[in-house]
Chains A and B, each alone.
Chain A
Amino acid sequence: MRFDDEPVPGYSLPILPGHVSPGRLERVLRAGKFAITAELDPPDSADPAEVLKRAAIFDGYVDAINATDGSGANCHMSSVGVCSLLTRVGYATIMQISCRDRNRIAIQGEILGAAAMGACNILCLTGDGVQAGDHPQAKPVFDLDSMSLLEIARGMRDDCRFQSGRKIDMPPRVFLGAAENPFVPPYDWRPHRLAKKVAAGAQFIQTQYCFDIDRLKQFMAKVGDLGLLEGPKRVHILVGVGPLASAKSALWIRQNVPGVHIPDAVIERLQGASKQKEEGKRLCLDLLQEIREIKGVSGAHIMAYRQEESVAEIIQASGVLEGRVPWYPGRDNPAQLNPESPDALGHSEQALSD
């Protein structure tokens, strides 16, 4: 029997030959499409509806949603919690794991739990220092670093073993990612560090915010020289972008957010504009189009903190999807809509008034 209010189950795709995960992101990347991922700002709340609402904003424009793990060392709903809620309605998620808060016992357990809940992508991060967040008095764990975390996750997937060597019955089928920041020192090491991450198991990379196209081009050229953009060591690079709200906020970010490099020219461009917020979006769009043209770039990762509502507009205007509509709950079957999406809410209001 079927209940009227039965939730729409999340489901996995079959794993294609040569793929490691049953997820959509890996399929889009391996098909050579320009992929879009976006960062979801996890709520300071235990309300599941809030998570679904924040995801619905991206419907039709992104291939996977990043669930951050205490970003900026601030406390929010956990990454595995957000992923579990999203995969239940079918979204493709990228679960972020930071080494700051948990040791290897907790992290490996979390990888199994997340994979069981349908998370197909895991982003292995070092994490910001605790001093950056709202609990500077917390103990920084850093039992692993992003590199050893990648290696352990890969061992769990490919060798069916925990780091201890103990056997895993069913391995986590996950596409593994890592972060890179080409825009901070030591610049000439960054491409090599990326190669090291690939050696440790990274299959896709999401970079820090890019506001400096020249630096990105130099980086990509070097990465290409290292043989990482084709062949067996192929890594899919998604470049980070995001709209700046104003020149003032750009200055604040440059000063206070670790690792974000914003050149003076960008700040001057915003200062010279009459509507700074619009100019910020325009800048993001221009960057997206320029990034699209750089050889070897596989996609973009949009981090529009507190401007999530502008993501669809920017992607639409940039044309980077070339008419492609990434999957979202309800795209193919309206009965599967995200219950918190505006369409679903509109329908239910209609149903009530009927």
Chain B
Amino acid sequence: MYKVRHWVVRHSRVFESLYRCFEPLLVKLHPLWKRLGYARVEAPMRAVEKGVKGLLFDCQMCGQCVLSSTGMACPMNCPKTLRNGPCGGVRSDGHCEVKPEMKCVWVEAWAGSQNMRHGERIHVVQQPVDYRLRGSSSWLSVVREQAQRNNGDEQ
């Protein structure tokens, strides 16, 4: 879905806005998730997230989504899974050192971030991936954290 992924990055601002509406909605539904039980919701939510984000971003389900900070280009598609910017091996045509047929994920991310309202987030240093969260729904974990912060509420 290489083409879709490019298209999304070109329209990063739209997707940024969409997510900005989507996240509070999910957080509002916290009582519902809590009632159903986060553990029980995990599997269907994961499936939906995988489907949607897989189609749009070639999401690799790292479980700690940073798309809003990376111009809507998924950094896990970088063959070195870099989370903080391009390596020094980018080709002069902007393509990847490891996969010459692919445009560098971070060249895309930079372009995408330039269109976004909060593109400056690309300058924030990202923590390394927590491998325990691989394959889990990052939407749910964001919602859970956000709800906890809002309510001071134990899940």
Q: Distance in Å from the Cβ of A164 to the closest Cβ of chain B?
A: 11
Given contacts A145-B84, A196-B85, A185 and B123 within 8 Å (CB-CB): no
Tally A residues with Cβ within 8 Å of B: 38
Which of the segments B14-22, B33-41, B86-94, B147-155 contacts the partner chain?
B86-94
* Distance, CA A151 to CA B125, complexed state (A): 9
**How many angstroms from the CA of A58 to the CA of B94 in the assembled complex?**
36
Between A104, A193, A208, the greatest number of chain B beta carbons within 10 A of the residue's beta carbon is seen for A193
| A147-B90 contact given A185-B107, A195-B123, A200-B125, CB 8 Å threshold | no
Is B94 a contact partner of A192 (Cβ separation < 8 A)? Answer: no
| Contact of A186 (CB < 8 Å), options: B83, B97, B107, B131 | B107
Question: Does B104 count as interface, using CB distance less than 8 angstroms?
Answer: yes
CB <8 Å contact, B128 and A143: yes
- Give the distance in Å from the alpha carbon of A132 to the alpha carbon of B127 in the complex: 27
How far is it, in angstroms, between the C-alpha of A200 and the C-alpha of B85 when the chains are bound?
A: 13
Interface contact B80-A180, CB-CB below 8 Å: no
A148-182 interface mask toward B, CB cutoff 8 Å, 1 = contact, 0 = none? 10011000000000010000000000000001110
Q: Which A residues from 100 to 152 make CB contacts under 8 A with B?
A: 100, 104, 126-129, 131-132, 140, 142-148, 151-152
Contact with A along B115-152 (1 / 0, CB 8 A): 00000000101111101000000000000000000000
Q: Of the candidates B88, B107, B111, which one forms a contact with A180 in the assembled complex, judged by CB atoms under 8 Å apart?
A: B88
Q: How far is the CA of A189 from the CA of B129 in the complex (A)?
A: 23
* Interface residue B25 (Cβ < 8 Å from any Cβ of A): no
Q: Is B92 a contact partner of A184 (Cβ separation < 8 A)?
A: yes
> What total count of A-B pairs have CB within 8 Å?
103
Q: Given A142-B81, A186-B106, does the pair A128, B89 have CB atoms closer than 8 Å?
A: yes
B87's nearest neighbour on chain A, judged by CB, is A126
- In the bound assembly, the distance between CA atoms of A131 and B98 in angstroms comes to 7
Q: Is A259 part of the binding interface, using a Cβ–Cβ cutoff of 8 Å?
A: yes
Kindly state whether residue A261 has any CB partner on chain B within 8 Å.
yes
| Cβ 8 A contact of B86, one of A100, A193, A199 | A193
Check A48 for interface membership: any CB of B closer than 8 A.
no
A59-118 interface (Cβ within 8 A of B): 99-100, 104
Known: A129-B97, A131-B98, A195-B123. A145 touches B88 (CB 8 A): no
Also in contact, A148 and B92, with CB within 8 A (given A195-B123, A196-B123): no
Verify if B24 is at the interface (C-beta below 8 Å from A): no
A131 smallest CB distance to B (angstroms): 6
Whether a CB of chain A sits under 8 angstroms from the CB of B57 is: no
Q: For B86, what are the chain A residues with a Cβ–Cβ distance below 8 Å?
A: 184-186, 189, 193
Q: Which residues of the partner chain B approach A126 to less than 8 Å between Cβ atoms? A: 80, 82, 87-88
Given the interface pairs A128-B89, A129-B89, A196-B123, the reply to whether A147 lies near B107 with Cβ below 8 Å is: no
Q: Among B80, B91, B93, B94, which residue has the most Cβ atoms of chain A within 10 A?
A: B80
Residues of B near A148 (CB, < 8 A) are 83-84, 125-128
Select A128's contact among B93, B97, B126, beta carbons within 8 Å. Answer: B97
- Chain B's closest residue to A186 (CB) is B110
Cβ of B43 to closest chain A Cβ, rounded Å: 27
Does A342 make an interface contact (CB < 8 A)?
Answer: no
Scoring A179, A192, A259 by chain B CB atoms within 10 A of each residue's CB, the highest score goes to A259
- B88 close to A132 (CB less than 8 A): no
B54 is an interface residue with CB less than 8 A from chain A: no
B79 at the interface (CB under 8 A from A): yes
**Alpha-carbon distance A104/B130, docked complex (angstroms):** 11
> Which single member of B79, B89, B128 contacts A144 (CB below 8 Å)?
B128
Residues on B with beta carbons closer than 8 Å to the beta carbon of A195: 123
Give every chain B residue within 8 A of A100 (Cβ-Cβ).
80
The reply to whether A146 and B84 form a contact with Cβ atoms under 8 Å apart is: yes
Q: Once bound together, how far apart are the Cα atoms of A132 and B87, in whole Å?
A: 14
Q: Are B88 and A259 in contact (CB under 8 A)?
A: yes
Asked if residues A129 and B88 are in contact (CB atoms below 8 Å), the reply is no
Given contacts A144-B128, A148-B126, A189-B110, contact A261 B82 (CB under 8 A): no
Show the binding face of A for B, using Cβ within 8 Å: 99-100, 104, 126-129, 131-132, 140, 142-148, 151-152, 163, 179-181, 184-186, 188-189, 192-193, 195-196, 199-200, 208, 258-259, 261
Given contacts A147-B126, A185-B91, A186-B106, 8 further A-B contacts (CB under 8 A): A151-B127, A179-B88, A184-B92, A185-B86, A185-B92, A189-B106, A208-B88, A259-B90
Query: Considering the complex of A and B, which 10 residue pairs feature the smallest CB-CB distances, nearest first?
Result: A258-B89, A181-B88, A147-B84, A129-B98, A258-B97, A148-B128, A259-B89, A259-B88, A145-B82, A186-B110
Q: Give 5 A-B contacts (CB < 8 Å), ordered by A residue.
A: A99-B80, A145-B84, A148-B83, A148-B126, A189-B106
